[in-house]
Amino acid sequence: MLPICALIAFIITFLTTRWVIHVAKERKIVGKDVNKPNKPEFPALGGIAIVAGFVAVTFVLLIQDPNYERIISSILLSSLLIAFLGLMDDFLNLRQSIRAFTPIFAAVPLAVFSVGHSAISIPFLGVVNLGIFYYVIVIPAALTISSNAFNMLEGLNGLGTGMGIIMSASLAYIGLTRSGNIFVAGEMALILLASLLAFLYYNKYPAKVFIGNIGTYFVGSVIGSIGIAGYMYTALAVLYLPYVAEFILKARTRFKGVSFGKVNEDGTLYWNGMPNSLTHVVMKMGRFKEYQVVAILWIIEGIFAILAIYLQTTVIVI
């Protein structure tokens, strides 16, 4: 049944992306691809298709596994609340303070689901019971960081989508090798993976559609929610290490920095100032075209994904 669910998520996302491209073009909901010499415009809000594919099949899981209604509902509700935040940001260009703190309220469903489980495993330290601080600090902080951080490292064709594929594949592998709530979290990670793979067809270089803030916030929140509800904090922390570096680089600019590059005549990207993003760090390593910069960052995330799986499955005992 699970492979069929993943296939359905893929098909729904694939077809919905085509629809979004058509409608966005028709209604002039577009954005400029500044990493191309002629700065072409492409449809935005492609993340709606990822939301559609994931939500539709998650409801199937909800019917199939009623015993796990709480974990499925909490992940779904928290992610949809943050997706709404992303949609508002796409149209209203919200202030940084609103984008930074609104996800705290979206963490309530996850906190309610986690009541009775306030202990987490920390590598080499063992199990630590955080009590009330787990619900009011750890869960809101983890969801806020995961959704906002994922939104920071974006701006190149296929970058965020590919990073999400690697991260969701890692969580799916970890979850599907366990049982109970962690297995269900793994199922939801697999559904997200299928949706992202379908969207990558249109979002990879040269992109036909942009993921939009609704997409980056949603994907980041689903990954964070799965890690929280599935008690995969170690994997989540390791997967987000590149985003920690991105946060530091963006903080140096008071979060006004961009991930875009400047374009040479041969199509390679460069950045001649202080790096505002990991993308700029890669650009300074050599003369790379956009898809090569993206591939390097995917490889880096892939290395952290392997480390995340190792630590979560061999060092951590849940």
Summarize pLDDT for 235-274 with one digit per residue, the tens.
999 999 999 999 999 988 888 889 999 999 889 999 998 9
Identify residue 252 by its one-letter amino acid code. Answer: R
Residue of 233, 281, 242, 262 whose CA lies nearest to 152:
242
Q: Model confidence over 178-197: pLDDT tens digits?
A: 888 899 999 999 999 999 99
* Radius of gyration over every alpha carbon of the chain, rounded to an integer in angstroms: 19
pLDDT for residue 315 = 64
Residue of 281, 246, 42, 8 whose CA lies nearest to 148:
246
Sign of CA pseudo-dihedral 304, 310, 312, 316: negative
- Residues (pLDDT < 70) of the chain are 96-97, 115-127, 129, 315-318
Distance, in Å, from the CA atom of 238 to the CA atom of 217, rounded to the nearest integer, reads: 19
**Cβ atoms of 269 and 282 closer than 8 Å:** no
Rounded to 5 degrees, what are φ and ψ at 122? -115, 130
Q: Can you state the percent helix, strand and coil of the chain, rounding each to 5?
A: 70, 5, 25
Cα 23 to Cα 15, 33, 215, 223, 242, distances in angstroms: 13, 19, 17, 28, 35
Q: Would you give the DSSP letter of residue 156? A: S
